[in-house]
Chain A
Amino acid sequence: MADAPPRRYADGEVVDAVVVGTGAGGAPVLARLAAAGLHVVALEAGRRWDPARDFATDEREQAKLFWTDERLSAGGDPVPLGNNNSGNGVGGSTLHFTAYTPRAQADDFRLRAEFGVGEDWPLGYDDLEPYYDELEAFLGVSGPPDYPWGPPRRAAYPLAPLPANGAARLMARGCDAFGIRTAPAPNAALSAPYFRDGVGWRAACTNRGFCQAGCSVGAKASTDVTFVPLAERHGAEVRPGCFVTGFERDGAGRVTGVVYVAGGPDGGVERRQRCRAVFLAAGAVETPRLLLLHGLANSSGQVGRHFMAHTGLQLWARFAEDVRPYKGIPGALISEDTHRPPDADFAGGYLLQSIGVMPVTYASQLARGRGLWGDALREHMRGYNHTAGINILGECLPHAGNCVELSAELDARGLPKPRVTFTNGENERRLTAHAERVMRAVWDAAGARDVWAFARNAHLIGTCRMGRDGAAAVVDADGRSFDVPNLYISDNSTFPSALAVNPALTIMALALRTADRFLERARRGEG
């Protein structure tokens, strides 16, 4: 394909689609539609970063990658937002995702059928499998030659695993003692240089351990170095610094344009981009917030409801060995032996992963989770280089009371700040207790001392669930709104259940499927 300058569309021009957000949900849609020859514009609230120039290996400096518009966190277990979740910039939260890319397993999509609780998806593993295959090859996922869990794979991971760091070796040692199988984790970070058409060469991971605060070498497959350049090669326009505030609609209720503020909250200019369809990919807080602001696509009453956040208990420990937790891919080792534990007293399951950690993040968690201060704090932190962690990522059921709402407080733009309410239910508490027993046994066997648990929930999921019935869901299996036929949602807000895996790969798979279904409909001449 010949290099061409990215297209620039005028606001008055009617483009085929506007995509709101350029993270894991938006960028794949943008690239897919552009590759099909459609005229597409992405509106991205954040700026465009130059990782080599702009990204420091410094946690405080990199706070700029996080969504800093204030959100209120409420409920019995208020979820930390900010650096725990949404991203700020072209690439969205893939700028700071850990690159962990396990596939969901087939039974993840059938929780209600299996356990009688939670929710089933209106699609299954077979629908996503071709997209998982495609994504792993396109992103350059590093992983083991024989992944032990899930359905048989049609292709091996394209790259060898990333090297095992200290935490991975310690977790493997502890798991071996109990017969818990482990494997190098699939990570969307390159263990060798990698070439893809439309993207070019990307460099190999340098083991700098900084995935959660921005990859400065382009080894991590954040969308800013994968789907966004691919989309631009195909003529898509990415417009950074554009915060979407509303929609224009015709008499039939179809979206005819997207209203946005360009240039930031102070001194920004309101503009409109006319379009034939819109894809919301702003994440499980901003997507429902935008719909709630305008009372849009909510005849089901489900917008903002059933917010979920994975159970993410971390078990930190001190070891005699020199670990240096700042080196290597943070999540280097995985076990899915706990996907459906035989002795479970809860629905669903969880995966185990080893975790490295940067010092500011560790200290902050120590403060919040253990309340250490004074001499005890400095003494504990002097053992940082001997610290390793294990983390779970576990099922979270959709509870009606957990939600995203508009608060009475206004932000700098004069829009209501979102309030996120979350409380773990009985199932989450039982799952977490089970996981803590397993992880303590693993760490004891590995020779751990001073083990402490940090309870947390992570990933923002749900709030615009997909389903078969427009009375009970916001979008159908194609991501298409039941109420507004040319409005689509492509992000983790559409997940009807949380899945016991990290969401990024599945968000991207759903995004590609949503784009393909949209294109099929367009080819059939349906609006």
Chain B
Amino acid sequence: MSTTPVPHPHDVTEPPVYPRGTVRALLDTDHVTPATRAALRARLADDPGAAAPRALDADAYAVLRAACARLVPQPDRGTPDGDPPVDVAAMIDARLADGPGDGWRYAVLPADAEAYRRGLAALDAHARATFGAPFAALDGAARDAALGAAQRGAVGDDPLGVPGWAGGPAARWFEELLAEACECYYSHPLAQEEIGYAGMADVPAWRALGLDVVDPREPRPVEPRPLGAAARG
């Protein structure tokens, strides 16, 4: 083991780009257990936007969809020859409808479904008061400004009767929204392909455990990138 810092072989500037289809290809192999395959296939098969919301009403759901489109933007998806977008808002609504929750909540917030209703209403009211239009009708920059205000806890005491949201609760609600959006998105096989994750293909045992080594079934970046040495299979 070296006793001095090891210099970088490369600068860390560009994150790697992985090929499409890696997780989907692995799902057909014996590298994935039946339980894992069932969970990921079910998630892949969910039809984005096919169902009406069940926990939220149409207005709240429109705000949620518009917010998720900015929190986890997917301009690279939904093109004719591309993959469909991961429907984060639909995953959140389904979780609110079916439960269970994650076992806890900040005491300053009401129960999850009610917190979403109030938070989304406050966001919409903030948009109307600040930009003169519903949140879902705003352009991306204006939606980002409204979401940024929520993140800072600056959304609240609005004209539509959603009091008590200024300060901590609004920021905590935004944190919960963002965390759940992230958890939904990165649990999806398409997002896992994007980041080169292959942990679901865990049969047989992983053998390449060091630095800059991968097992043959792990995805490698599409093109040589200045980040990392060449992976060996």
Residues of A within 8 A of B (CB): 53-61, 63, 66-74, 78, 80-83, 86, 163-166, 169-170, 172-174, 176-177, 204-210, 216, 318-324, 326-328, 358-360, 362-364, 366-368, 371, 373-375, 377-386, 407, 419, 444-447, 449-450
Contact B205 A206 (CB under 8 A): yes
Q: Are A216 and B33 in contact, CB atoms less than 8 angstroms apart? A: yes
CA A516 – CA B206 in complex, angstroms?
A: 41
Closest Cβ of chain B to A398, distance in Å, is: 21
13 further contact pairs, Cβ within 8 A, besides A207-B206, A216-B35: A56-B36, A69-B103, A70-B103, A70-B104, A72-B106, A74-B107, A80-B104, A81-B104, A166-B210, A173-B5, A208-B206, A373-B72, A373-B181
Kindly list chain B residues whose C-beta atoms are within 8 Å of the C-beta of A363. Answer: 182-183, 185-186
User: Which residues of chain A are near B35, meaning CB under 8 Å?
Assistant: 53-57, 61, 216
Separation of A12 and B203 alpha carbons in the complex (Å): 47
Contact between A60 and B106, CB atoms less than 8 A apart: no
Cα separation A327 to B9 with both chains bound (whole Å): 23
Residue B58 CB within 8 A of the other chain: no
Q: Which of B3, B107, B151, B185 contacts A72 (CB 8 A)?
A: B107
The residues of B that contact A450 with a CB separation of less than 8 Å are 12
List the A side residues contacting B108 at CB < 8 Å. Answer: 74
Tell which of A165, A364, A383, A446 touches B209, judged by Cβ atoms closer than 8 Å: A165
Least CB separation from A407: chain B residue: B107
B3 touches A176 (CB 8 A): yes
**Separation of A446 and B33 alpha carbons in the complex (Å):** 36
> What are the residues of chain B within 8 A of A371 when measuring CB–CB?
151, 175, 178
Chain A residues with CB below 8 A from B101, complex form: 68, 70, 82
A107 to B43: give the CA distance in the assembly, Å: 50
Interface residues of B (CB under 8 A from A): 1-12, 15-17, 32-36, 38-40, 43, 70-73, 99-108, 111, 144, 147, 151, 175, 178-179, 181-183, 185-187, 191-192, 194-200, 202-214, 218, 227-229, 231
Task: From A56, A71, A206, A419, give the contact of B39 (CB < 8 A).
Answer: A56
Beyond A366-B182, A374-B73, whether A57 also contacts B33 by CB under 8 A is yes
| CA A273 to CA B73, docked complex, whole Å | 55
A83 touching B103 in the complex, CB below 8 Å, given contacts A207-B206, A363-B186, A373-B147: yes
Q: Chain B residues near A367: list those with CB within 8 A.
A: 175, 178-179, 181-182
Given contacts A69-B103, A323-B211, contact A368 B179 (CB under 8 A): yes
Tell me the complex Cα distance, A374–B218, Å: 27
List residues of chain B with CB within 8 A of the CB of A366.
Answer: 182
With a cutoff of 8 Å between Cβ atoms, the chain B residues found around residue A73 in the complex are 104-107
Residues of B within 8 A of A407 (CB): 107
Across-interface contacts of B210 in A (CB, < 8 A): 164-166, 169
Q: A58 with B187: in contact, given A81-B103, A165-B209, A322-B212 (CB under 8 Å)? A: yes
Whether the pair A176, B2 counts as a contact (CB closer than 8 A) is: yes
* Chain A minimum-CB-distance residue to B3: A176
24 A-B residue pairs with Cβ-Cβ distance under 8 Å, sorted by A, are A57-B199, A58-B36, A58-B40, A70-B105, A72-B106, A73-B105, A78-B106, A81-B103, A81-B104, A82-B102, A169-B210, A176-B2, A204-B205, A206-B203, A208-B206, A320-B228, A321-B211, A322-B228, A327-B208, A371-B178, A379-B15, A381-B186, A383-B15, A386-B228
Min CB distance B99 to A, Å, is: 8
Contact between chains at A60 and B183 (CB < 8 Å): yes
Closest B residue to A168 by beta carbon equals B209
Q: How far is the CB of B165 from chain A (nearest CB, A)?
A: 18
A170 to B6, CA, bound (A): 10
B2–A173 touching, CB < 8 Å: yes
CA distance A212 to B97 in the complex (A): 26
Provide the residues of chain B in CB contact with A60, threshold 8 Å.
39, 43, 183, 187
* Complex interface: chain A residues within 8 A of B106 (CB): 72-74, 78
- Asked whether, in the complex, the Cβ of B107 is within 8 Å of the Cβ of A368, the reply is no
Which of A63, A173, A328, A386 sits near B227, CB closer than 8 Å? A386
The residue from B12, B71, B102 contacting A68, defined by CB atoms under 8 A apart = B102
Residue ID in chain B nearest A88 by CB atoms? B103
- The reply to whether B179 and A385 form a contact with Cβ atoms under 8 Å apart is no
Q: Quote the shortest CB–CB distance from B105 to chain A (angstroms).
A: 6
Q: Please, which residues of chain A bring their CB within 8 A of the CB of B4? A: 177
How long is the Cα–Cα vector from A165 to B111 in the complex, in angstroms? 40
Cross-interface CB contact of B231 among A61, A322, A382, cutoff 8 Å: A322
What is the CB-to-nearest-CB distance from A427 to chain B, in angstroms, rounded to a whole number? 24
Chain A residues within an 8 Å CB radius of B34: 53
Tell me which of B3, B12, B185 has the highest count of chain A C-beta atoms within 10 A of its own C-beta.
B12
State A367–B151 Cα separation when bound (angstroms).
11
- B39 and A66 within 8 A (CB): no
> Contact between B16 and A382 (Cβ–Cβ < 8 Å)?
yes
Q: List A contacts of B147 (CB < 8 A).
A: 373
Assuming the A-B contacts A360-B187, A384-B196, are A56 and B33 also in contact, with contact meaning beta carbons closer than 8 angstroms in the complex? yes
Which of B2, B73, B185, B206 interacts with A206 by CB under 8 Å?
B206
A58-B183 contact in complex given A74-B107, A172-B1, A382-B195, C-beta closer than 8 Å: no
Contact among A56, A68, A327 with B100 in the assembled complex (CB-CB below 8 Å): A68
**Cα(A58)–Cα(B35), bound, Å:** 9
| A72-B107, A381-B195 given; A206·B204 CB < 8 A | yes
Beta-carbon contact of A373 and B5 below 8 Å = no
Interchain CA distance A172-B70 in the complex, whole Å: 39
Name the CB-closest residue of A to B203: A206
> Residue of B at shortest CB range from A177?
B5
**How many angstroms between the C-alpha atoms of A209 and B104 in the bound complex?**
25
Give complex CA distance A78, B179 in Å. 16
A319/B12 contact (C-beta < 8 A), A164-B210, A169-B210, A446-B5 known: yes
The contact of A209 among B2, B151, B187, B199, by CB within 8 Å, is B199
Q: Are B1 and A368 interface neighbours, CB within 8 A? A: no
Q: Would you call B104 and A375 a contact (CB within 8 A)?
A: no
Q: List the 9 closest pairs (A to B, CB-CB), nearest first.
A: A82-B103, A326-B199, A81-B104, A382-B15, A206-B205, A74-B107, A61-B39, A208-B202, A60-B187
What residues of A have a CB within 8 angstroms of the CB of B32 in the complex? 57
**Residues of B with C-beta under 8 A to A80:** 104
CB distance from A44 to the nearest CB of B (A): 17
A359-B192 in contact (CB<8A): yes
> Which residues of chain B are within 8 angstroms of A59 by Cβ–Cβ distance?
183, 187
Residues on the B chain within 8 Å of A54, using CB: 35
Query: Which residues of A sit under 8 angstroms from B100, Cβ to Cβ?
Result: 68
> How close is A443's CB to chain B, nearest CB, in angstroms?
10
Please pick, from A78, A81, A322, A358, the residue contacting B199 in the complex, using a CB distance under 8 A: A358
Please, how many angstroms separate the alpha-carbon atoms of A368 and B175 in the complex? Answer: 6
Query: Which of B2, B5, B199, B213 has the largest count of A CB atoms less than 10 A from its CB?
Result: B199
- Nearest chain B residue, comparing its CB with the CB of A67: B103
Q: Is A364 touching B197 in the complex (CB atoms < 8 A)?
A: no
* Chain B residues within 8 Å of A71, by CB: 103-104
Given contacts A83-B102, A320-B228, contact A359 B195 (CB under 8 A): yes
